[in-house]
Structure 1
């Protein structure tokens, strides 16, 4: 399951990793996918960590392509949140430090977002860039970041995750192939986020048809790409109606008068309504898992307490009871 070192996650287990491990065992889980960034890690039992989720700097594409973005007048917290550093070299150093944190706890992989979105874009969908442009800048950033590492490879296998913003959304097979052909290293794979793909499809409003839509997209890919989907973030998102409603409304009134923190809260509330992170309830969800056959499956939920997390895990694990496979 997804997890972090934030107090909101740890406190529900009494800040005791023994309780975390007991909870994992009670659900038949092997460990956690832990969020890590570039800052030093505290002491904790690393054996419970299977993989990590690396930080996502939403505006990295713009800053990488135009360094004048680093000189814009904005709250310093907002600048780092968007760009992940104070200049291009700082971005690289912070990314490498996050990788080293992952390696220090023997993580099997590090999930990395290949996407670009600024805060107001989540309301307007007026991104101003193409998927290819974002994937090109990301490939350049990654290639430069890992080029001086031992053997020119990341110290932890990078798992590229799909989002529904410009970049890797998996809807265009040619664009996905373009991205992987732009990489100058081999230690990579994909994490398929099922809910994010449903968000990208945009018309998912009921679970069974959403599952079928995900399978239709995956069926377009050749075997060698499907075999590279080694991770899966498993959850359901049926926000098609909401996305269409909000796209017509645009920026909320008074949005630009808010502080960075207030705008961020508004954005995250909106995103949570798009990216619902609900458990699958239909046994047909197993078809996605059987088709992809990932090495790692992460039950990825957003919850407000231990009882909600327990319920979502039990609901989704119960649904994983059957389906059809893909010949490999």
Structure 2
């Protein structure tokens, strides 16, 4: 399951990693996928973290292709949130530090988002950039950042994750293949996020349709690409109708007059309605897992309490394995 070092997650288990371990074991899981960044990690018992999720800097593409973006009219908190650093070298350094953190806790992989979206884009969908442009800048960023490591390879296997914004959304097979051919390192694989793919397809209004749509899209890819999908974030998102409605309405009234923090809150509330992170209840979700055969499957949910997390895990595991559990 996904987990973080935030107090909202740790407090559910009374800041006791042994209780975290007991909880995941009670659901038949091997451990957690832990969100980390470049900051110094606390002591974490060995054996509980299987993989990590690296930070996502929404505006990385803009800053990477145009260094003047770092000099824009924004405070330092906004700059760091969007770009991951105060200049290009700071961005690279923070990314490398996150990877080194992952290696220090023996994570088997680190998930990395290949996507670009500005805050207002999540409402307007006026992205002004193509998937290929974002993937090209991401490949350049990764190749340059990883060149500092021995043999130009990341210290943990880099799992490239799809989103529904411009970038690696998996909708265009040729664009995806072009992207991976641009990578100058070999220690990588894909993480397939099922909910993100449903968000990208946008016709997913019920689980059965969503499952079929995901399978139809994956079937377009050659076997060697499917074999590179070593990770999976399993959850359900049926927000197609909502996305179209908001795209027609644009940004909320008064949005551009808000402070960065206020705009960020509005964006996160909206994104949570798009990316719903609900458990599958249809047994057909097993078809996706069987088609991909990932090495690592993460039940990825957003929850407000331990009972809610427990319910979502039990619900999806029951749908996935049925009478086998």
Name the SS of the counterpart of 1:291 in structure 2: helix
Deviations 1:273-317 (A, max 9, x none): 000000000100000000000000000000000000000000000
Q: Which runs of 4+ in 1 moved over 3 A?
A: none
C-alpha distance in structure 2 between counterparts of 1:300 and 1:239, whole Å: 17
Residue matched to 1:287: 287
The equivalent residue for 1:261 is 261
State how far apart, in whole Å, the 1-side matches of 2:49 and 2:172 are. Answer: 33
Within-5 A mapping of 1:148-187 = 148-187=148-187
2:135 is matched with: 135
Matches within 5 A, 1:126-275: 126-275=126-275
Q: CA RMSD in A?
A: 0.7
Q: What displacement does 1:151 show?
A: 1.2
Once the two structures are superposed, residues 148-186 of structure 1 have per-residue CA deviations (whole angstroms, 9 ceiling, x without a partner) of 211110001000000000000001000000000000000
Moved more, 278-287 or 256-265: 256-265
Unaligned runs of 5+ in 2: none
1:147 Cα shift? 1.0
1:46-95 deviations in Å (ceiling 9; x for gaps):
32000000000000000000000000111211110000011111111000
2:54–2:111 Cα contact (<8 Å) kept = yes
Q: Which residue of 1 aligns with 2:297?
A: 297
Contact 2:76 2:86 in 1 (8 A): no
Distance 1:18 1:268 in 2: 31
Q: How far has the Cα of 1:31 moved from its partner? A: 0.2
TM-score, length of structure 2 as denominator length: 0.98
